[in-house]
Amino acid sequence: MSKLLTWVKSEKFTNSVKPEIERLVAVIVFTIIYGIGVSWFLEASVVPLYTGGIPGIGQLVRDAAYVWFDYTLKDDFLGLFVIIMNIPILILGWFGVSHRFTIHSIISVVLQALIIGWFPKVNFGLNSVEHALAASVLGGLLIGIGAGGALKYGTSTGGLDIVAQYFSFKKGKTVGFISMAMNVTIALLGGFIVGGHETTQGVVITGGVIASYTVIRIIISTIMTDKIHTAYQFLAVDIITTVPQQLVDEILVKVYRGVTLMKVEGAYSHHEKTMIFVVISSYELHTLVRLVKQVDPQAFIVTRPVKNVFGNFKRKTIA
């Protein structure tokens, strides 16, 4: 037991093992939240509501099969579709984003498929036309929390999140913006395919209503994703500390960002301190704050958004 406690308190556990455990827990928890948003809210609505990414495309395929060919696909179709269609996208993530990011995304994809395709659904009484807005808002909220939370910890819910992450890194656009563009296309296609036809629940809904409620879902999900996770947007961080050299050494090695040092003085105490200025990608903030608290628990940290960065600033993949 003493050896275990010693290992838990060791630098290797703190810097290597603990972050991986946090990522694993995050991907499980946030995938469950995402899956519940899709399965218990969007899928429960009598008005067809489409999620984004691969599950959204699966919904389109399922509804098109029913509307155009009068063929009803089984409940496990979405789960199987999510797994199969994610295979080439996960390969893209492996080579174009990050190996660790992709491994966690695989875990998320499998769990997501199980929740959407096979887990029992809980009825919240949202299966009527007048409750479509509530289903759209609540579903969108949970989907945005799930997707954004997973991305914040260096993972994803798979699918088009990986594509968005890839292009975000290459083109510098926010993940939320890219996801929104792809998901609006799904919403419009859903309205076009199902609008004016009888749905699998035996009602006829116009395409405009379907697209409108789905767009509401997308807006809410996008806001939540960008609020929780804004990778490849940048932050300027000011750290006021009494142990600047120790912090600088840690930042240079573990965050791998350049820093600028400025001498400052407390207006009340008149004690001289050092302000460390560093610009990071926002997904690095979690690592940086943890590092600073380990070295100097009394450090004062201020962050602010940065619109553009020019010069020698490396855009790194996550995880």
92-103 residue pLDDT tens: 888 877 788 788
Q: Does residue 184 register a pLDDT over 70?
A: yes
User: Could you report the per-residue pLDDT of 141-181, keeping only the tens digit for each?
Assistant: 999 899 888 877 767 777 776 776 666 666 555 555 666 77
pLDDT of residue 45: 92
Distances in whole angstroms, Cα of residue 67 to Cα of each of 41, 163, 204: 22, 29, 11
Phi-psi region of 196 (alpha: psi -120 to 50; beta: other; left: phi over 0): left
Distance (Å, rounded) from C-alpha 52 to C-alpha 186? 7
* Segment 86-89 long-range contacts (CB within 8 Å, at least 24 positions apart): 86/54, 86/158, 86/159, 89/54, 89/158, 89/159, 89/160, 89/162, 89/163
Q: Does residue 263 register a pLDDT over 90?
A: yes
Task: Identify whether the C-beta of residue 78 lies closer than 8 Å to the C-beta of residue 86.
Answer: no
Distance (Å, rounded) from C-alpha 279 to C-alpha 261? 13
Distance (Å, rounded) from C-alpha 99 to C-alpha 319? 8
Amino acid in the structure at residue 158: G
Reported pTM: 0.78
Radius of gyration, alpha carbons of the chain: 23
Phi, psi values for residue 310, rounded to 5°? -120, 150
Amino acid in the structure at residue 78: L
Which residues, listed in sequence order, are joined to residue 198 by a DSSP beta bridge? 204
Task: Identify whether the C-beta of residue 174 lies closer than 8 Å to the C-beta of residue 230.
Answer: yes
Lowest mean pLDDT among 106-110, 163-167, 194-198, 307-311: 163-167
Residues 6+ apart with CB under 8 A from 249: none
**Number of other CB atoms surrounding residue 262 within 10 Å:** 12
- Residue 61, Cα to own-chain centre: how many angstroms? 24
Alpha helices, DSSP H, located in the chain:
2-8, 11-12, 18-36, 53-69, 77-96, 99-117, 132-152, 160-171, 175-194, 207-228, 244-250, 285-295
Place of tokens 């399965």: 39
Distance (Å, rounded) from C-alpha 178 to C-alpha 165? 9
Q: Quick one: what percent of the chain has pLDDT higher than 70?
A: 87
Q: Which helix (H) or strand (E) holds 239?
A: strand 234-241
Task: Identify whether the C-beta of residue 19 lies closer than 8 Å to the C-beta of residue 42.
Answer: no
Between 23 and 78, residue with greater pLDDT: 78
Distance (Å, rounded) from C-alpha 48 to C-alpha 206? 10
Phi, psi values for residue 263, rounded to 5°? -80, 135
Distance (Å, rounded) from C-alpha 136 to C-alpha 134? 5
Confidence of residue 22 (pLDDT cuts 50, 70, 90): confident
Q: Does residue 217 register a pLDDT over 80?
A: yes
Confidence of residue 84 (pLDDT cuts 50, 70, 90): very high
Q: Show the domains of the chain with their CATH numbers.
A: 2-228 (no CATH), 234-306 (3.30.70.120)
Phi, psi values for residue 233, rounded to 5°? -95, 160
Which residues, listed in sequence order, are joined to residue 28 by a DSSP beta bridge? none
